[in-house]
Amino acid sequence: MMLGVSTYCLMDTPLQDALERLSAITSLVEVVDEGPHFVHDTSLFECYSADIVLHAPYHGMNIACLFESIREATVKVMTDCFSVAAEIGAGVVMHPGYYAWEQEREQADRQFKKSLKELCDAARELSVTFWFENMGDMHFFNLQTPEDLDLIENCGFALDTGHAHINHCLPGFLQTGFSHMHIHDNYGRKDTHSPVGEGDIDFIPVMAALRRNHASAVIEVKSFDGVKKSIRALEIM
To which CATH superfamily is domain 4-235 assigned? Divalent-metal-dependent TIM barrel enzymes (3.20.20.150)
Q: What is the DSSP string of 64-129?
A: T-SSHHHHHHHHHHHHHHHHHHHHHT-EEEE---B-SSGGGHHHHHHHHHHHHHHHHHHHHHHT--
End-to-end CA distance of the chain: 11
Query: Residue 99: what are its φ and ψ, rounded to 5°?
Result: -120, 150
pLDDT for 101 equals 94
CA dihedral (100, 105, 109, 112) in degrees, to 10, reads 0
Closest CA to 174 of 228, 124, 210: 210
pLDDT for the residue 1: 74
CA distance 79 to 46: 22
Stretch 125-142: mean pLDDT: 96
DSSP string, 123-144: HHHHT--EEEEPP-S-TTBS--
Instruction: Please state, in angstroms and as integers, the Cα–Cα distance from residue 131 to each residue in 93, 149, 168, following that order.
Output: 5, 12, 22
* Res 157: pLDDT: 98
Mean pLDDT, range 137-152, rounded to an integer: 95
Mean pLDDT score, 98-118: 97
**2, pLDDT greater than 90:** no
Q: How confident is the model at residue 92 (pLDDT cuts 50, 70, 90)?
A: very high
Strands 28-32 and 4-6: parallel
Question: What would the DSSP string read from start to end of 215-232?
Answer: -EEEE--S-HHHHHHHHH
